[in-house]
Chain A
């Protein structure tokens, strides 16, 4: 078995690295170690993706762990988001380290939590055992709660408390859903918890029980994914966390919870006779999130909260696409990658601008392109991509989701989605233009431009642009296979 090392390396690697971070050296060293360690994880990650793409699902530990196309696809997003954020962290923390506010002990805690979070998210993505997947989701909640609290101050504390309580309750309800799903299979031993086994005998599951299970799961995991109306914690947590952490929150924490939900979608659909019951629920929550986010985006005054509400919009779109199925499912997964790339860049640039200008208030950030060319331009381009300006890939995925609604003959859904997207487009574009070029009220000396920072910001954005124009064939194949698992064709 040449592939036996892959999954253990992916799960134990982060644990080992987290332990390494606790050996105090200097804050600089920890931050650098985070970057190197995260990139090293790409080695087993790439091996897992290759195996899943070329040879089909890879199982381990009595089929408790599994990498199929859907997990491989999410694994790619995870590694890209964490890799980018870890490379960005040195820029963000440099000032704090110099001023002594980010000492060795804080850095050690940050590093350990960073790798702990990666480990927990990997557990979610790699679990075939649905209860183990739940353990991973809950673990991400708890570990990231401490990451929000890395910044001292009453606001961060309030955000942490809200996040902790709302998501703990949500995830507890998701456990109830997990138990009900197992009960719907008649609770025949441990195999009732394996996703693949439930899928295999989906038609024998008790339909009423599995419906009840899905309701609990939608509310539970939906809270964590930031679907409206369970989204209240999200803007607070995203705006209060340090920028690299916000990037990870928006770039993958939400996807983790949505992934957990998507794992159940084909099971519930098969158990209820492919009547579209579960899909309908996702469509409803997706549309509601889109509309709620559009409303709040119009009235936003703070840049990180703006980005947070934009995340609610995008998670809503993914749920909508997955709910519509067919082309929609493909587009939803494609959208997940595009959104994660842009949103990580946007959060990092916004955090850096906030540092330089001493505020996150949108009006007082005016003229940022002049003050900090790299971060200002990066944020502007990322916002442009996020609202769906062509030819970025997000335009493609949004277009395909709307098209899926039209194909399915659901014109009401299509109209509502289009209205939401248009409202978001207008209000965010207005903010973005002012932020980039409006005359600044205070004169701030322009910052030096660092080539490394410029390259770091430009690379993910260039990737989103390239994906909008051309999709490499192996990537397209993986995307289609992943989408087929959640009910997309291809």
Chain B
């Protein structure tokens, strides 16, 4: 299954680059939606022992939550606010892509040094996870709109989810459900917050939320 797995991971990385390099919020949301679906089915491709109903069912739940529900929530937020683009990002798009490109070999180097390889993960799994985490954190600091920060959070979450696969072929179901539910509520809460921010401030530029300090 390694060939499939590597192809899937490459696609995951591409969606990450698409989100980092685009100023249109809708593109970012779609890219993260696609990434969510890919990460959701990753355990199925990764599994050595074949599939079981639990894995398929859970993969479907993850893919639906991250691929359909989250994009829908976030699209609603940008429609309501009429914000289409990320104007004046803290770090420009060219520089962002260049940074992401540097991140990739750094992630390979890091994964190489970490004594992982516990669940016969393919060679690409851990580097992909680290790259996603790095790009997610980067998005959260380098973009101004609230939606972009949620996208960064989602990418970070996807990275950690992918890293989890290198450690466990599967977590206990209760834990997996708990993690997914937390992610869902987080995005839901952030979506509501964005909605309120739009209404109260007429913008969703988080760098301008500065009334509380000291």
Contact B140–A161 (Cβ < 8 Å): no
A94-102, A151-159, A393-401 - the one binding chain B = A151-159
Tell which of A129, A155, A161, A212 touches B193, judged by Cβ atoms closer than 8 Å: A161
How far, in angstroms, from A164 to B193 measured CA to CA in the complex? 9
Contact B189–A193 (Cβ < 8 Å): no
Interface residues of B in 114-134 (CB under 8 A from A): 114-116, 118-119, 133
Chain B positions within 8 Å of A70 at CB level: none
Contact B211–A186 (Cβ < 8 Å): no
Tell which of A161, A187, A240 touches B119, judged by Cβ atoms closer than 8 Å: A187
Contact A146–B189 (Cβ < 8 Å): yes
Contact B175–A193 (Cβ < 8 Å): yes
Least CB distance from B129 to A in Å reads: 9
Tell which of B156, B181, B189 touches A169, judged by Cβ atoms closer than 8 Å: B156
Nearest B-chain residue to A305, judged by Cβ: B214
Taking residues whose C-beta sits less than 8 angstroms from the other chain, chain A's interface range is: 35 or more
Say if the beta carbon of A435 comes within 8 Å of chain B.
no
Say if the beta carbon of B160 comes within 8 Å of chain A.
yes
- Write 7 A-B pairs (CB below 8 A) sorted by A numbering: A135-B182, A138-B182, A159-B212, A165-B140, A179-B160, A180-B167, A187-B168
Least CB distance from B66 to A in Å reads: 14
Contact A235–B212 (Cβ < 8 Å): yes
Say if the beta carbon of A300 comes within 8 Å of chain B.
yes
Chain A positions within 8 Å of B200 at CB level: 153-154, 157
Contact B186–A168 (Cβ < 8 Å): yes
Are A172 and B193 also in contact (CB < 8 A) when A129-B175, A154-B201, A239-B212 are?
A: no
Contact A131–B153 (Cβ < 8 Å): no
Say if the beta carbon of A296 comes within 8 Å of chain B.
yes
Contact B189–A132 (Cβ < 8 Å): no
Interface of A is mostly: helix
Taking residues whose C-beta sits less than 8 angstroms from the other chain, chain B's interface range is: 35 or more
Say if the beta carbon of B2 comes within 8 Å of chain A.
no
Least CB distance from A181 to B in Å reads: 10
A interface, CB within 8 angstroms of B:
129, 131-132, 134-135, 138-139, 141-142, 145-146, 149, 153-155, 157-162, 164-165, 168-169, 172, 175-176, 179-180, 182-183, 186-187, 190, 193, 206, 208-209, 212, 235-236, 239-240, 296, 299-301, 305
Interface residues of B in 147-170 (CB under 8 A from A): 149, 153, 156-157, 160, 163-164, 166-168
How far, in angstroms, from A172 to B183 measured CA to CA in the complex? 9
Chain A positions within 8 Å of B115 at CB level: 206, 208-209
Contact A164–B172 (Cβ < 8 Å): no
Contact B209–A131 (Cβ < 8 Å): no
Chain B positions within 8 Å of A186 at CB level: 118
Are A187 and B212 also in contact (CB < 8 A) when A139-B182, A172-B160, A176-B163 are?
A: no
Contact B163–A164 (Cβ < 8 Å): no
Chain A positions within 8 Å of B175 at CB level: 129, 131-132, 135, 193
4 additional contacts (CB under 8 A) given A179-B163, A190-B172:
A139-B185, A158-B211, A161-B193, A179-B160
Say if the beta carbon of B77 comes within 8 Å of chain A.
no
Contact B167–A183 (Cβ < 8 Å): yes
Tell which of B179, B190, B196 touches A175, judged by Cβ atoms closer than 8 Å: B179
Say if the beta carbon of B48 comes within 8 Å of chain A.
no
Least CB distance from A241 to B in Å reads: 12
Contact B182–A164 (Cβ < 8 Å): no
Tell which of A139, A154, A206, A209 touches B211, judged by Cβ atoms closer than 8 Å: A154
Chain A positions within 8 Å of B157 at CB level: 172
Chain B positions within 8 Å of A175 at CB level: 160, 179
Least CB distance from A153 to B in Å reads: 8
